[in-house]
Amino acid sequence: MNRKNYRRLFLPLVVIFLLVSFYYTGGEEELFVIASEEKTPEVDSSLPLKEQIDTILEDERLDGAITGVSVRKADTGEEIYSNHGDIRLHPASNMKILTASAALETLGPDYQFTTEVLTDGKMTGNVLQGNLYLKGKGDPTLLEADLEKFAKTLKDQGITKIKGNLIGDDSWYDDIRLSQDLNWSDEPFYTGAQVSALTLSPDNDYDAGTVIVESQPGEGEQAEVTVTPRTDYVTIVNKTKMVKAGETKQISIEREHGSNRIIVEGQMPADGSTTKKWVSVWKPTGYALDVFKKALENNGVTFIGNAKINSGQAPENAKELTSKQSIPVAELLLPFMKLSNNGHGEVLTKEMGKVVFDEGSWDKGLEVMEDVITSFGVSEDAILLRDGSGMSHKNYIPASELTKLLYKIQEKDWYSEFEYALPVAGISDRMVGGTLRNRMTEEPTKGNVKAKTGSLTGVYTLSGYVTSADGEKLIFSILNNNYIDGSMAPIQDAIASVLASYEFE
């Protein structure tokens, strides 16, 4: 079949595939193969391993693209297959493998983030005479419920009035909120949320710096729109209209670039389902303060005088009134790796810089990451690190270096936590299967392939572990770059299936 005829046949299938729903994963919208009509490459299982994988890589969908593949034996590190394995390629969210490894090595699996409530004042009766500080130290798991507990604790301490200002201290990290290569068009979305040492998550997926906006049928002329958590820090501009039952639902929810105006528009049928979207917040420090002030008021703690809400730095001698520690890093790795939470990658990067160099910045954090990764045997000359999440199109690592890293970390005492955090193919529980829960749902790959996914425009990646039919644990990395048409998932899944089915003896 020539290229022209192939495209005529193939493009309608692409449309079918792209109509498949995007499923919210808590950090990265991975396109799942739920009802794809795209063909799965066929191979002769009697052929040697190299010839089977080579056959898959002859697929026409790879024309004009480049694919790096590396396979190693997990017990010896011997590389038994390579295709462009030494070529630097974009890892997308496979970058999180590097970040998680470096964080476990630098911070440790038991490391926790802290949030503190401080004051520079003194009590006079039930009045706190002085400022109240909410100091963040990078915790991406801070919830509205935690702020409610802080407020209740202050009330239990006898504070009912505060004569001073409410100040947010986010000085634990620098004031650069977005990584250097993040596209401006990505920042309104939860995948590109701003990084602040003081921030807030709307639910237990811990998408820090975001709110959940929901639109559902309303009783009037417009759809009903709600925000979680309840906050005045964002402004909802409701441009929706209600239409008759049975008509098409068309609702868009998007924050204006550089502001906290969230525009909700389109039509909602009377029998329509709820539209739910996680939207990033501009300058999340103020967002956390606004929700904290409401929590204080809910618990009977009010500000008196000309109180202001602003950012600042708590004095060194400020007294701690209460505090909260996050879940440990080992637990944070579950939403980070399984749900591919971009914000966690950037927080962990800055935290490594803070712990090692006393500077919570991307520059210092990436310096730590490079030092750690190269100490595992990865070639310094082969990699370029630009962020902790993989959102950058300037991150580079060859497939062979990724498998080398995955081999070396097996000897670490924290390796079990790392492996446990990887998505598991075909397991429907989202906190087990993660971004692989709807891929490779049949044996021998189901429950066998444990690997990190990744996706950017023109980039699709999969790296991790699989056990062959005769019990040989294998390490693999597949980095698809520079493709335009179609999905790379069937090709990656076919390679994983070959590895899972292969018998070495």
Which among 443, 345, 333, 432 has a CA at the least distance from the CA of 385? 345
Two structure tokens written together for 71: 């396979």
Which among 291, 296, 294 has a CA at the least distance from the CA of 154? 296
What's the CA gap between 301 and 298, in Å, rounded?
Answer: 7
Report the half-sphere exposure of 487 (CA within 13 A, side-chain side). 27
Amino acid identity of residue 435, one-letter, is T
The residues facing 464 across adjacent strands are 451, 476
CA-based torsion, 424, 426, 429, 435: positive or negative: positive
What's the CA gap between 437 and 434, in Å, rounded?
Answer: 6
Q: Are strands 309-311 and 166-169 parallel, antiparallel or unpaired?
A: parallel
Question: Do the beta carbons of residue 194 and residue 283 sit within 8 Å?
Answer: yes
Report the half-sphere exposure of 334 (CA within 13 A, side-chain side). 13
Question: Do the beta carbons of residue 456 and residue 482 sit within 8 Å?
Answer: no
What's the CA gap between 102 and 421, in Å, rounded?
Answer: 14
What's the CA gap between 163 and 312, in Å, rounded?
Answer: 17
**Catalytic residue of the set 70, 82, 96, 179:** 96
Residue 318 DSSP label: P
Question: How long, in residues, is the chain?
Answer: 505
Our answer to whether residue 340 is catalytic in this structure is yes
DSSP string, 428-440: -STTTTGGGTTSS
Tokens 């990646």: give the residue. Answer: 461
**Catalytic residue of the set 36, 70, 82, 93:** 93
Peptide bond into 444 cis (omega under 30): yes
What's the CA gap between 194 and 179, in Å, rounded?
Answer: 9
The residues facing 466 across adjacent strands are 474
What's the CA gap between 161 and 494, in Å, rounded?
Answer: 64
Which among 385, 392, 378 has a CA at the least distance from the CA of 477? 378
Question: Do the beta carbons of residue 420 and residue 432 sit within 8 Å?
Answer: no
CA-based torsion, 176, 179, 183, 186: positive or negative: negative
**Catalytic residue of the set 340, 455, 468, 477:** 340
Which amino acids are annotated catalytic? 93, 96, 340
